[in-house]
């Protein structure tokens, strides 16, 4: 596990199609409708911003059932702290 917040946790994954490490933001089971809306807003903002030196870029979004499992997949930052980027 790379990190954890009140509503989600972040783990490291490997994206075969890109042959690279990625971060995977996973909502906790206790997530409610408000969190779901916030995740959608986060995705929209990341798409709008695109490539930016101060933002971990969005690689993709994955969902089997959008209401139950929505995963945000940003680029994996190799250093331990975003301040170092």
Number of domains the chain contains:
1
- How is residue 63 written in tokens? 């969902």
Residue 68 has what pLDDT?
Answer: 64
pLDDT digits 0-9 by tens, 24-63:
999 888 778 888 888 889 899 999 999 888 888 899 998 8
Share of the chain above pLDDT 90, in %: 35
Whether the full predicted model's pTM is greater than 0.85, yes or no, is: no
Query: What is the Cα 13 distance to its own chain's centre?
Result: 11
Q: Residue 73 is part of a domain; what is its CATH number? A: 3.30.200.20
Average pLDDT score over residue span 59-76: 82
- What is the domain extent for residue 40? 3-84
């Amino acid at each position: 596990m790379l990190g954890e917040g009140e509503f989600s946790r972040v783990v490291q994954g490997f994206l075969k199609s890109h042959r690279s490490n990625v971060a995977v933001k996973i909502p906790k089971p206790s997530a409610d409708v408000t969190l779901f809306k916030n995740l959608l807003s986060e995705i929209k903002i990341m798409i709008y911003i695109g490539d930016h030196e101060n933002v971990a870029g969005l690689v993709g979004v994955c969902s089997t059932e959008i209401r139950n499992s929505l995963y945000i997949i940003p680029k994996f930052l190799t250093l331990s702290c975003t301040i170092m980027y």
